[in-house]
Copies of this chain bind each other. A is one copy, B any other.
Amino acid sequence: MGELAYVITMSAVAVSAITGVLEAGRKPIDLFGVVLVALTSALGGGTIRDLLLERPVFWVADQTYLAAAVAAGVATFMLVRLVRLPANLFLVPDALGLALFTVIGTQVALANGAPWFVASFLGVVTGVFGGVLRDILCNEVPLVFAGELYATASWAGAMVFIGLLQAGIAGSVASLLAMAVLFLTRIAAIHWHLTLPSFAAKE
């Protein structure tokens, strides 16, 4: 992994930790619990991917990931007690993190021999299951399953990435294009309130 990619990944880990703190903060959870929720949010998706692929869990050997998530979590906790952060401040960084995690997850799965359909699903797992575990710890129905396209945008990005690779496009170009599609889908979904049908539509 190049140095730029490493820095970007760390930023995505930190942003996911921050969203974990913001969710945990609405619950009767203390500072240490908030940090554990932040860690789960930041590292959970990639952890499940690595376990399913039988490869070493990415944050166990390199403790920079854990340190970045803890630092972001504690800093956010302190900040939120001082000032009221606007709820939508992190929507754009979160969409960037979703794009990055999904495409890296898909790439890792393909590199470990997963067939394409499984790889696209493991990309989604990497992108969204940190948030799913965060919501489970906070005793909520996972937010990523509702509202504006989120898991769907993640899957669309994974499929675009796989399609471009299949068409013979170089990996670096394919990953940038797929991240752009995923990011813009998510931002467009927020802006125009694009949602998938749900059962509720029947009534």
Give the number of chain A interface residues (Cβ < 8 Å).
61
Binds B, one of A93-101, A164-172, A193-201: A193-201
Q: Which residues of B contact A80 (CB under 8 A)?
A: 199, 202
Q: Which of A25-50 contact B (CB under 8 A)?
A: 25-34, 36-37, 39, 47
Query: Shortest CB–CB separation between residue A172 and chain B, in angstroms?
Result: 26
The answer for the CA separation of A51 and B53 in the assembled complex, in Å, is 10
Q: Which residues of B contact A18 (CB under 8 A)?
A: none
Given contacts A141-B138, A197-B81, contact A28 B146 (CB under 8 A): yes
Q: Which of A51-108 contact B (CB under 8 A)?
A: 51-54, 56-57, 59-63, 66-67, 77, 80-81
The answer for the CA separation of A113 and B152 in the assembled complex, in Å, is 38
27 A–B contacts, CB within 8 A, in A order: A26-B199, A30-B146, A30-B147, A31-B197, A31-B198, A32-B152, A32-B196, A33-B142, A33-B146, A33-B151, A33-B198, A34-B145, A34-B199, A36-B145, A39-B121, A51-B51, A53-B60, A59-B118, A61-B113, A63-B116, A63-B117, A66-B117, A66-B118, A66-B121, A80-B199, A80-B202, A136-B137
